Structure 1
Amino acid sequence: MSSTKPAAALAAAALLGLAACGGGGTPHEAATEFAPDTEAEITFTWWGNDERADWMNQALDLFNQEYPNVEVVRNFNAWGDYWTARNTEAAGQALPDVLMMDAGYLGEYADKGLFLDLGAYQGGLLDTGGYADTLLASGTVNDQLVGVPMGYNAWSMMYNKDLLDELGVPYPAADMTLDELEAYVLQVNQAGAAQDPPVYGASDYTGSFPGFIYARMQEGEDVFTDDGGPAFDEGDVQDYLDSAAELRDAGDFYPVERTVALDPLGGFLGGEAALWFNFSTTVAQAMSDIGTENIGMVQAPTADGTHVLADHPSMLLSVAANTDQPDASAVLVDFLANSPEVKAIFGASLGAPPTDEGRAAVDQSASDAVDFGYLEAIDGEITESYPLLPSGYGSIEAKWGELHEQLLYGDIDTGQFTQELFSEMDMLLG
């Protein structure tokens, strides 16, 4: 990770620190009806590329067919520019009326009182009746609904069917234990050793912070405290890293040198490793990069083969506390979050639609079918909300990845990894 990233995160936090503290709220009694001919002007911003902007403009055009007198001033940015602009606006209490929000920033902004509590609109202008309680809870901060998920996904283990078929290795099971995973990786390694280049079972699966979050959930442990600090200690991190030490030390994971050479693809996306641990929506990226639709998906292994899963909001919609058009803003959030016509435009590109009606509106691609099928299969095991992420989370996640690469090269050991990670968190979280 570049040394400028922590500084950038601290600068963003400093800007937000200038924003007025205190809770958000509904500035007046929330309306339960909104006449189609109501006149209003609201601003709306999102991040993404030109393709997403085209889809969003189609969705907003549909909104204006229903509400022709609500002018929506539209704006979008690339990811980095988006947060630079939002942090500046937040410092001046001048956020757009409606804005796309990421789970990694939701708690930070909400704690500064920057969002309207949309809970007052539920059952009226905002229909959340088809949403899982666990998913809505991921958009709730300090007992206020401040983010409505546009889509969701869940942590998963993907596998390349084409590769495994070629090697004659059976597909991984949904109830695989960690010991069975280790044996499976070695089985694939042995079968793929004669390939050119060799095929491996997996890259080191302790390489991402979301994987650590998943492991904490299996143990029934929190990840962050209510005030945004780590709910784990250095020993917890070191134990997690050491759980894969035997494979790592023996060189049985996909080689880091090859990972760097293939960047940004890596082993799985480069078609040279059988397994990938990531959120389910990324199956679309996998199919595109590898060039096959034959990707399967099961739960990531655990110590005993049972799972504690959470629905992770892929992105959310929030309304600024400084809005002078709260009712019109709530109506726009409801339309974008719930309209089947909008879901038909975006498909699963924003995550799987949170409601049955929304998912039914999607003309499913091959990746959608795998993603939706997985989410349906694990529905009974989604019992938790995804942890609320603190200010500075993105830099923490990036630091984990940077340190893990150093670990794989042998430049540091797991003890040094944890010390440097906690030094970073001390700086970012206080």
Structure 2
Amino acid sequence: MVNGRNVERRTVLKAAGATAATLGLAATTGCGGDGGASADGTVTIRYAWWGAEDRAQRIRKTIALFEKKYPKIKVKTDFQPYLDFWKKFNTQASGGNPPDVFQNAVGFLRKYDAKNVLLDLGEQVEAGHLRMEGFRAGLEKFGEIDGKLLGVPVGSNSMALVIDKPVYTKAGVKPEQGWTWDDFEAGMRKIRDRTGRAGDSGMYGVMYLYDLYLRQNGKAFFTADGLGFTEADLTDWWTRAEQGVEQGLYADPKKVAQIKPKSALAAELCGSEFTWDNFTVRYSAEGKSEYALAPIPTTDGKKTGQYLGSLMLSASKRTRHPKEVAQFIDFMVHDPEVARIMGYDRGVPATQAQFDAYQPTDEVNKAIAAYEESLVEAGVLEPITPHPNGADICESAFLRIAEELGLGKRSVDEAVQQFFTESKTALGT
């Protein structure tokens, strides 16, 4: 993720991992969805997503715009909290009746493609109903799997280091693009020694940070069909994290757990925290300090391993209205007014037209936009690591086992062995 900062990701993965692992999803040949058109040619498509009421209110406004532009297409909506969304989705998919279009994430593409749930939107692109040009920084490739277009990004984010600016200033630590992990560790020592705080919230369960570290070293967390690292690699990572806690460089995991759902950074247990850039909003809401985004440390002073990615829209293979679904997705990712309504709720807008249309006025969102622009200008962005079928279950296991390690419930060796055992089962390897 991960401490309290990744509730959405963690709860989503728990839901999908617990439910999808036990469901044999029905084959999705034939027709499904809402049914045929009405007498006047009007069709209805079902759109489902996860999120809070604020997101729902914004999305309803965008749907009103869409229905005004396409009066013959009506959109029936359904949203759930994170956990409930995936429970309901799996039930619908297993019964052969998933929503026509729905919010999705990269960790689920191969899973639901393997279960014959996802529509390849490539045909709709060829037919001219869905535009895949005008995306920022290669995001148009984000939802492509094995030559199939299974998802279209609605926003972007990237991993970042969120820092408490006064703490870093007092410690004399100045993170800059290209700083190394040795620089980072030296900075954590300065923060500990000069401010009395741990330098960082800890790296036990930040799976996507570990992925970047692996990518910096020519590996990756996932390959197209499995894990891209060894037990020795993970042993080294978790040993270093454990040593960091012992030395006071990272926050005490027990204290971090006690203050949840508040973040360790906002609770002043540490001076920084690795997370997704668009999660930065939470720190200003939770804490009393001034926060900023800093670059990811590197192994060689150049390669960060970073990529842009975020939520996306996918379609059901059973939909009776693929053209209308494609027109809906096209509208949601290209229309400038949609961006002005949604803001950065689902990440920085994925297309340049929407990015230009919404210019944030608050300092937090300005910083998020500037951070992502700095990644493009620095030339550090790369294609995302492929996620195999079962990746969501692996991620859920990584987060849970890492937390158990941090709380002293497992040794490093036990944690590594448990993770690989569960992952091999999830991936069928």
> Normalised by the size of structure 2, how large is the TM-score?
0.87
1:359 aligns with 2:362: no
Rounded Cα–Cα distance in structure 2 between residues aligned with 1:159 and 1:385: 26
SS in 2 for 1:20: coil
Rounded Cα–Cα distance in structure 1 between residues aligned with 2:393 and 2:216: 24
How far did residue 6 of structure 1 move? 7.5
1:13 aligns with 2:21: yes
Letter aligned with residue 286 of structure 1: Y
Match of 1:334 among 316, 330, 333: 330
Match of 1:130 among 107, 129, 134: 134
Runs of 4 or more, structure 1, over 6 Å off, are 5-8
> Contact (CA 8 Å) 1:121, 1:330: kept in 2 or not?
yes
- Greater mean alpha carbon deviation, residues 183-192 or residues 108-117: 108-117
Letter aligned with residue 106 of structure 1: L
How far did residue 18 of structure 1 move? 3.3
Q: 1:90 to 1:160 in 2, by over 3 A?
A: same
> Normalised by the size of structure 1, how large is the TM-score?
0.87
Q: 1:68 to 1:142 in 2, by over 3 A?
A: same
> Contact (CA 8 Å) 2:245, 2:252: kept in 1 or not?
no
Q: 1:265 to 1:305 in 2, by over 3 A?
A: farther
Letter aligned with residue 396 of structure 2: A
Q: 1:396 to 1:352 in 2, by over 3 A?
A: same
1:153 aligns with 2:167: no
> Contact (CA 8 Å) 2:162, 2:274: kept in 1 or not?
yes
Rounded Cα–Cα distance in structure 2 between residues aligned with 1:99 and 1:7: 16
> Aligned pair count?
406
> Contact (CA 8 Å) 2:171, 2:190: kept in 1 or not?
no
- CA deviation vs aligned residue, 1:75-99 (integer Å, no higher than 9, x gap): 1111111111111222233211111
Q: 1:177 to 1:8 in 2, by over 3 A?
A: closer
How far did residue 168 of structure 1 move? 4.9
Give matches, 1:19-418, under 5 Å: 19-20=26-27, 39-122=42-125, 124-132=128-136, 134-165=138-169, 167-193=170-196, 199-227=197-225, 229-292=226-289, 294-364=290-360, 365-379=362-376, 380-418=378-416
Rounded Cα–Cα distance in structure 1 between residues aligned with 2:16 and 2:50: 19
Rounded Cα–Cα distance in structure 1 between residues aligned with 2:15 and 2:131: 40
- Which residue matches 2:35? none
> Contact (CA 8 Å) 1:308, 1:381: kept in 2 or not?
no
How far did residue 245 of structure 1 move? 4.9
Rounded Cα–Cα distance in structure 2 between residues aligned with 1:206 and 1:257: 12
SS in 2 for 1:385: coil
How far did residue 8 of structure 1 move? 7.0
- CA deviation vs aligned residue, 1:79-129 (integer Å, no higher than 9, x gap): 111111111222233211111112221221122222221122336221221
Q: 1:378 to 1:251 in 2, by over 3 A?
A: same
- CA deviation vs aligned residue, 1:267-295 (integer Å, no higher than 9, x gap): 21213321111111111112222245x32
Letter aligned with residue 236 of structure 2: D
How far did residue 10 of structure 1 move? 5.2
Rounded Cα–Cα distance in structure 2 between residues aligned with 1:133 and 1:144: 20
SS in 1 for 2:310: strand
Letter aligned with residue 353 of structure 2: E
Letter aligned with residue 81 of structure 1: D
Letter aligned with residue 198 of structure 2: Y
SS in 2 for 1:68: coil
SS in 2 for 1:335: helix
Letter aligned with residue 212 of structure 1: Y
Letter aligned with residue 164 of structure 1: Y
> Contact (CA 8 Å) 2:223, 2:386: kept in 1 or not?
no
> Contact (CA 8 Å) 1:138, 1:387: kept in 2 or not?
no
Rounded Cα–Cα distance in structure 2 between residues aligned with 1:18 and 1:357: 38
Q: How high is the sequence identity, in percent, across the aligned residues?
A: 27
SS in 1 for 2:292: strand
Letter aligned with residue 25 of structure 2: L
Rounded Cα–Cα distance in structure 1 between residues aligned with 2:403 and 2:165: 28
SS in 1 for 2:63: helix
> Contact (CA 8 Å) 1:152, 1:314: kept in 2 or not?
yes
How far did residue 411 of structure 1 move? 3.9
> Contact (CA 8 Å) 2:163, 2:291: kept in 1 or not?
yes
Rounded Cα–Cα distance in structure 2 between residues aligned with 1:335 and 1:134: 19
SS in 1 for 2:133: coil
> Contact (CA 8 Å) 1:98, 1:319: kept in 2 or not?
yes
> Contact (CA 8 Å) 1:21, 1:111: kept in 2 or not?
no
Letter aligned with residue 231 of structure 1: G
SS in 2 for 1:73: strand
